[in-house]
Structure 1
Amino acid sequence: MTPQEAFRDQAVSCEGLGSPLTARLCRLCADRLERGQVADAVLGWDGDASSRGDSVPLRLMGALHALVLTGADRALADAYGAAAALSDDHLWRVLAEALERHQDHVLHWLHSAPQTNEVRRSAALIAAGHWLTARFGLPLVLSELGASAGLNLLWDRWRLDGPAGVLGPVDGPVVLKPDWRGAVPVCAPPQVVDRAGVDLNPLDPVADRLRLLSYVWADQADRLERTRAALDVAARDRPPVQRGDAVDWLAERLALPVPGRLHLVAHTIAWQYFPAAAQARGEALLAEYGARATPEAPLARLGMEADGSGQPGAALTLDLWPSGQRITLGRVDFHGRWIDWQAPPP
């Protein structure tokens, strides 16, 4: 896929996920980006520019959004706010001028892969955490793979408004209201006694606040508000996220005995990006420690990942040990806008 094709493909995804402005900007870049150092860097990208590789379109969109969030480019911020009333020619002229004025900033932003750390995915983690507590009645130890800044490591702090009322603290600083379909989730408040995560490039909720916010699409004010609220909590509580290889880290984490605890390993839109060899190592590792699990110290693995089924959203699956059981919990929108909850009674 060429960089231009990557921008057009990303535009389709942005439209499907409710960001017409980002979709339009991606199409303008696909059609008109051709001169300057930024264009040279993007169009000559060495690697897979698509969302299945380096996500170059979202790197560029993040760089531009950062200029808007900081007020570094007033003309660009004004154009974003009035984009619906502007012609493509007008919008592109402002965009091209911003890329030229701030080329050093943009080139720097292009070096880092986007990390949205979408906090709405916590809705699925909350529902699963209550289900597991109802099933096992044990405190939870959390291990998250691909944790970024650790916002979803704090899922037990957020409030989920579901079809049967509130799950989580009623005064939670982040409120999640997905469109709920399917079964009503069980209410069994979990107790998290330990949490940790790993990421190849963990982001700091204070030092990297702008970068995390910049990858939220500019016309989605509700996502920005939730991310800011979650970052405020993470800046205070500092969820521990270690830099490293996910499978190596998980091996060390699983080797720690947790008697009387349920160890929950979770990954949301992360496993699918692991190299095939890493996935195979991870599966073997989970099977190995799953074989050692006991009813007094069970192991669970919660995955929210694309499965290539052609169905909307991501598959939500739960593996349990020592039973070796795989349970389909349903499907969830990639940004957590809806959940189709199909979990059996715990």
Structure 2
Amino acid sequence: MADRGERPDYEFVDMNTRGEGAVATAFANQVAYCENAGAPITARVVGAIADVLASDASNALIERIRTWHGAPLADALPLRIAGGIHALHLSGDAKELAPIYRGISADDAALVRDAMLAFEAPLMPWLDGPPQTNEAGRSSNFSAAMLWLADKGLTARFALLEIGSSAGINLMMDRYRYDLGGIVVGPEQPAMHFAPEWNGSPPPAADIAIVSAKGCDVAPVDLTDPAQALRLKAYIWPEHTVRFDRMEAAIRAATERKPDLVRMNAAEFVEDALAKPQVPGTTRVLMHSIVWQYVPQDQQQRVTAAMESAGAAATADRPLAWVSVEADRTVHRHMLKVRYWPGGEEAVQLAWSHPHGADMEWLG
């Protein structure tokens, strides 16, 4: 694996850019992001869609993408339509797309153009909302952060609050086992096991426990519903086959016991949760992964204000932490960052992380 200390320089792209040229820039940025994250097939699909947009092909679907009124990168527009294209392949409705997903050389733009023209109606709803990219592998970041927080002196019994939980896969992380650079945490018979390729020193060892986990989403997904589960699978990058196995394991775990998940926006959820009494001897943790860009700016401000207000009232017996795994598109990697109260109000980056948990570079 390449030395992560020698990251390529990428042109900075403002996530909120909109207007002329923004759509083309968003698709080009997504291609680079996928290639850097080891997703060449997804890069092919996104690149082919970009070629269609640059051609004279036209229908309501194509024109809606071309004339996108929002910020296409912040809205994850390339991944919205790529998810729809992948769903056509998974369902078998567009068998002609098979060469792309099998990694066989083909006229990608022609195949994708034909699919976008033929399946205009079923593809259109995929543009209505952001991708649901619920990935269990990201929870390795949360586990490592909890080890670090315990080492900082925060109580090692954690009450988790997650925004943008999608199907709640990461809310079930108390059922997962982790090998983090040789530091092992989790049950002996887990629903899933994660051992990301580790770079740097291991996180500190600690005896941690998750005492509760609750999350929210504006459009929560029920993993026990096959149709909803298929939609989640469509957002999985096809070359990352292990993620399909993880999804099946998550479905089994949710069938045994569903995660505690409510339909609510991020600001309302955080404000409501922080207003409730905190059990003494627990660390309350707000966590999220690859979701902050989808939270409206006014809600981001409300979440931040609520956390800082609660942080000011935090005590050694009732500490508070904020753990996030979000993209830095200047390097096409993800940053694991932590804030905690009392004592560590400034954000600290603990690691660089692969978007699906394949590897971590520990900085903490």
Does structure 1 conserve the Cα–Cα contact (< 8 Å) formed by 2:155 and 2:319? no
Over residues 17-38 of structure 1, what are the superposed CA-to-partner deviations in whole Å (9 max), with x where a residue is unaligned? 1111121222222123422332
Aligned length, in residue pairs: 336
Q: 2:285 aligns with which of 259, 264, 287?
A: 264
Separation in structure 2 between the aligned mates of residue 47 and residue 5 of structure 1, nearest angstrom: 14
Residue pairs, 1:56-67, within 5 angstroms: 56-67=77-88
Q: Is 1:17 the equivalent of 2:34?
A: no
Task: Give 1:150 deviation, angstroms.
Answer: 1.0
5+ unaligned residues in a row in structure 2: which ranges? 1-20
Aligned with 1:45: secondary structure? Answer: coil
Over residues 245-285 of structure 1, what are the superposed CA-to-partner deviations in whole Å (9 max), with x where a residue is unaligned? 21221111112112222111112222344334333322221
- What is the aligned partner in structure 2 of residue 46 from structure 1? 69
Higher relative contact order (CA 8 A, sep 6+): 2
Does structure 2 conserve the Cα–Cα contact (< 8 Å) formed by 1:213 and 1:228? no
Separation in structure 2 between the aligned mates of residue 311 and residue 59 of structure 1, nearest angstrom: 22
Counterpart residue type for residue 246 of structure 2: R
Does structure 1 conserve the Cα–Cα contact (< 8 Å) formed by 2:177 and 2:185? yes
Over residues 150-184 of structure 1, what are the superposed CA-to-partner deviations in whole Å (9 max), with x where a residue is unaligned? 11122222222332253222432322222211221
Q: 2:245 aligns with which of 225, 230, 234?
A: 225
Residue pairs, 1:64-79, within 5 angstroms: 64-76=85-97, 78-79=98-99
Residue pairs, 1:85-164, within 5 angstroms: 86-88=105-107, 91-134=108-151, 135-164=153-182
Separation in structure 2 between the aligned mates of residue 341 and residue 184 of structure 1, nearest angstrom: 7
Does structure 1 conserve the Cα–Cα contact (< 8 Å) formed by 2:168 and 2:261? yes
Task: Give 1:97 deviation, angstroms.
Answer: 3.0
TM-score, scaled relative to structure 1: 0.88
Q: 1:314 to 1:81 in 2, by over 3 A?
A: closer
Q: 1:74 to 1:272 in 2, by over 3 A?
A: closer
TM-score, scaled relative to structure 2: 0.84
Counterpart residue type for residue 46 of structure 1: H
Counterpart residue type for residue 87 of structure 1: A
Separation in structure 2 between the aligned mates of residue 43 and residue 271 of structure 1, nearest angstrom: 25
Separation in structure 2 between the aligned mates of residue 245 and residue 32 of structure 1, nearest angstrom: 35
Does structure 2 conserve the Cα–Cα contact (< 8 Å) formed by 1:196 and 1:240? yes
Q: Is 1:316 the equivalent of 2:336?
A: yes
Does structure 2 conserve the Cα–Cα contact (< 8 Å) formed by 1:4 and 1:29? no
Alignment RMSD (CA, Å) = 2.3
Counterpart residue type for residue 60 of structure 1: I
Over residues 210-243 of structure 1, what are the superposed CA-to-partner deviations in whole Å (9 max), with x where a residue is unaligned? 1111011122212222223223323432212222
Determine what percentage of the aligned residue pairs are the same residue: 33
Residue pairs, 1:195-206, within 5 angstroms: 195-206=213-224
Task: Give 1:325 deviation, angstroms.
Answer: 4.2
5+ unaligned residues in a row in structure 1: which ranges? none
Select between 322-331 and 285-294 the one with higher mean Cα deviation: 322-331
Residue pairs, 1:236-275, within 5 angstroms: 236-257=256-277, 258-275=279-296
Q: Is 1:186 the equivalent of 2:209?
A: no
Q: 1:283 to 1:95 in 2, by over 3 A?
A: closer
Residue pairs, 1:23-38, within 5 angstroms: 23-33=43-53, 34-38=57-61
